[in-house]
Chain A
Amino acid sequence: MSWEIVIGLEVHAQLATRSKIFSGSSTTYGAEPNTQASLVDLGFPGVLPVLNEEAVRMAVLFGLAVNATIDQRSIFARKNYFYPDLPKGYQISQFESPIVAGGEITIDVGEDQKQTKTIHLTRAHLEEDAGKSMHEEFDKHTGIDLNRAGIPLLEIVSEPDMRSAREAVAYLKKIHALVQYLGICDGNMQEGSFRCDANVSIRPSGQKELGTRTELKNLNSFRFIERAINVEVERHIDVIESGNAIIQQTRLYDPDKNQTRAMRSKEEANDYRYFPDPDLLPVVIEDALIEQLRQQLPELPDARRTRYENELGLSSYDAEVLTNSKSHSDYFEALCATIGDQTKLCANWVIGELSAALNKDGLDPQQSNVSPDALAGLLARIVDNTVSGSMAKDVFVAMWQGEGSADDVIDAKGLRQISDPEAIATLIKQVMGNHPDQLGQYRDGKDKLFGFFVGKVMQAAGGKANPAQVNQLLKTLLNENS
């Protein structure tokens, strides 16, 4: 039987506010446990939440960016459940009236990624994060760190519109890029600033009714998300094809074993007893604020991508790769601005050498060892033929290791390209003189030997001769006396 895969995603994006959503505590990551938890975060008797307006503005920005409806009177609700890292015994979230309703984004699909598909959003709502339970650090006990309690989250819920793990990842990458473009989330998946749960089900192709779903929790990299969904889909197919039924449950993906396992032995339907939080007034968003935020919307990934293709003449692939990450794209723009009129060269370098070096060291473009200005210095030497493209790669490695500017490295290593036509002609004549047999054969029509001469000339030049000039002069000289 052929199965259709149905995937819906819930993204938790930590909003990049300076203080928490309902208290003045700092949101800086990585502080000593419980040093960024005020009486409000600890849920002490008598304390009250006060909404951080910045979180509201960020949620509205997101809603505008995905063409959603902004609910001008949204309501905070309490989601009641007991857990030690949930200090109040309830999480302040939104239930019946979320701040953002609907919305959509477009992803590329198909083998060649040439088709597009619209993924609809159900909603996006504001809520506070819970604390962190640390089960490993303390023998037979669980430690509780409430630094994270009260960090603002935007929970972005999609419709079950995705039909493959690949589509799911494409969607996530889009959302991931979008929140960073908007400046509302740093997108750091390792630190948990951008988290994802996936609802997965299958149904016989053509069937309208949805199959029983399972929820995959805490998938903290795009690679794991794709693998987790694929392995879970296989499990669904195995279970159903062997005549059993899928149990609706929450499952954890284990990347080491590449399998999912049930989080709880028995699935209890949680009754969160949502009701409007009487400590908080409805969030009223005036038209003026929405308009003001609309004006503030930065250029978004799709628009930037179109501009790269249409105005900068980049290929669709280059434009997409660059714009998928705001920081890469920003780096690219800074580079272009410095060097001017070399967009394709800049794109190649950002996508190629720079990204590779950043990945290897686990760095973000903002943390790059080679700044856009410094890289522009190197690219300028390619443009003016001081170095060849392949030499430039060596220069870049040296720059990355802190050996100075492009010119410093070129001088120190003596890499300056030979582009004096007379010097190159002299080299060519030497090579021709040293290989009379090959010269004869070439002149007898064995064109293939051209490459042989190029190699010999480059060798004689210690790799420093300008390849284009070598080509051109070689052609002239080889054919000259024939």
Chain B
Amino acid sequence: MHRLSVLELSRGLAAGDFSSVEITRHFLDRIGSSNDLLNAFITVTEERALEQAAAADQRIKQGTAHALTGIPIAHKDILCVDGVRTTCASKMLESFVAPYSATVVEKLDQVGAVMLGKTNMDEFAMGSSNENSCFGPVRNPWDVSRVPGGSSGGSAAAVAARLVPISTGTDTGGSVRQPAALTGTTGIKPTYGRISRYGMIAFASSLDQAGVIGQSAADAALMLETMCGFDTKDSTSSQQPVEALHNELEGDLKGLRIGVPDVFFAEGLSDGVKAQVEAALNVFESQGATLLQVSLPHLHLSVPAYYVVAPAECSSNLSRFDGVRFGHRCDNPKDLDDLYRRSRSEGFGPEVLRRILTGTFVLSAGYYDAYYKKAQRVRRLINADFQQAFEQVDLIMGPTSPTTAFPLGEKTDDPVSMYLNDIYTVGVSLAGLPAASIPCGLSEGLPVGLHIIGDHFCERKVLSAGHQFQQVTDFHTLRPEGEGA
């Protein structure tokens, strides 16, 4: 049953082949037997899930079901779910029970999706390996000695191991796409503003965007479509009409112009990843697409620009965690300063502290112009580069991540090498573009992701290309074997 895609499960539910309660129990059992090893879930909401499943079965019987009604899903533990613990994988929020639901959560509740639980992540979505979690690292089902990527590592590992058919994730600099690449799953983050950020605990507000990690572009399209749309509670959400996605992916690749930037294939890219990505591009070409060289002259500045903008926003966004109203509070504070200092030092992990300090620094008087303002300028230049490229091409493609999944602990002492893992993804985030990572083969037994980048609000084009690719390849159906599987 867990081998079925969301669309297959949906058809099975409609046909009465199984009930939502049955599949919900099935996946809950899988979580029960595998989560100790993979650590993909922080919280499993069994009771709530079974109630939702029973309600979904009723709805299916009444004939008022949506395609996602009764489908088990998971939410990254950064999305607030009313009455459910929402931790952001931080000691700061270890016992925080959200008093309201995120807009995304409400939308998926409304169509009758069944939430199995909250997935593990890097603390406050800061990390590329899911090792920065106060609940411990997530393991990659393809090789449990390796990381699943991050920050949505729990969602990616859970889908890769089929502990859940599909999950939400969030992406600030690559946090949906990079773990999708490292776990052989399909991940998409839409255009900035497509999905309401209300109820998604903020890391870097101008970059944060929810997305989906699933088994295929078609599955992801179904869930993404449900999550999109303007929300009066989020002033930065877009009023651009939402395109139908999941029934609109058919077509062919003939005449599709694919831009291939040099900079994506420069130094730092591993040979194995390079080979698989080039092979994938050849598939597109063989299906009638045209590959064109495009130039993104400022993209090499994206990592430093990102690591100024994101920490700056983070340092301010995380100020509300002060031990006064909610979250961790230190024992017996001597005075106000002591309350702040100890509550925050104890509540946040080292990577979060590093980014708060970096962000505080770059916003400080005397440094603001040199760092924050300059980074914003770089951001505009990168966006302009992409805009220019999209005058010539429909999509841009390259590798999602320079390497396959790396061993746990390999980069934990070297933040810069960890940050370089985001080299292909953060520029896209700075430009607010929609992008997906789809599996395009294995290198030494580990999945490689193909990065598909579209122009603003061209989610359908991105997913459609991914779907066409998945019609003629079977990389997305490859599954890990062994311990984690």
Contact = CB atoms under 8 A, between A and B. Distances in A.
Interface of A: 39, 42-51, 78, 80, 82, 84, 87-90, 144, 271, 273-275, 278-281
Interface of B: 79-80, 86, 88, 93, 96, 98-100, 102, 197-202, 204-206, 232-236, 312-313, 315-316, 318-322, 324-327, 336, 340, 360, 363-365, 368, 372
A50 B364 CA distance: 27
Contacts of A51: 235
Interface secondary structure of A, over-half rule: loop
A50 B315 CA distance: 21
B319 A45 contact: no
Given A39-B99, A275-B372, 13 more contacts: A46-B197, A46-B199, A48-B233, A48-B235, A48-B236, A80-B315, A89-B319, A144-B324, A271-B365, A273-B365, A278-B204, A278-B205, A279-B235
A134 to B, nearest CB: 14
B205 A275 contact: no
B320 A275 contact: no
A42 B80 contact: no
A278 B86 CA distance: 23
Nearest to A79: B316
21 contacts: A45-B86, A46-B80, A46-B198, A46-B201, A48-B198, A50-B233, A82-B322, A82-B340, A84-B322, A87-B325, A88-B319, A89-B318, A89-B322, A90-B316, A144-B324, A273-B316, A273-B360, A273-B363, A275-B363, A279-B205, A280-B236
B201 A82 contact: no
B311 to A, nearest CB: 12
Given A50-B233, A82-B340, A90-B316, A45 B325 contact: no
Contact of B316 (A49, A89, A144): A89
Q: Give the 10 A-B CB pairs with smallest separation, nearest first.
A: A89-B319, A278-B206, A273-B363, A278-B205, A43-B320, A45-B201, A46-B199, A46-B201, A46-B80, A88-B320
Contacts, number: 98
Contacts of B340: 82
B214 to A, nearest CB: 23
Contacts of B86: 45
A39 B363 contact: no
B235 A84 contact: no
B235 A49 contact: yes
Contacts of A39: 99-100
B431 to A, nearest CB: 15
Contacts of B236: 48, 278-281
B325 A80 contact: no
Contacts of A271: 364-365
Contacts of A78: 316
Given A87-B320, A88-B320, A89-B320, A50 B235 contact: yes
Nearest to B88: A45
A90 B315 CA distance: 11
A9 to B, nearest CB: 25
A281 B319 contact: no
Contact of A80 (B93, B202, B319): B319
B121 to A, nearest CB: 14
Contacts of B198: 46-48
Contacts of B325: 42-44, 87
Nearest to A144: B324
A251 B360 CA distance: 28
Contacts of B199: 46-47
B484 to A, nearest CB: 31
A319 to B, nearest CB: 46
A84 B316 contact: no
B375 to A, nearest CB: 11
A90 B364 CA distance: 14
A468 B232 CA distance: 71
B310 to A, nearest CB: 11
A280 B363 CA distance: 18
A84 B339 CA distance: 10
Nearest to B80: A46
A114 B322 CA distance: 55
A38 to B, nearest CB: 10
B423 to A, nearest CB: 23
Given A39-B100, A280-B235, A45 B320 contact: yes
A84 B98 contact: no
Given A46-B102, A46-B199, A80-B319, A273 B235 contact: no
A87 B315 CA distance: 15
B468 to A, nearest CB: 35
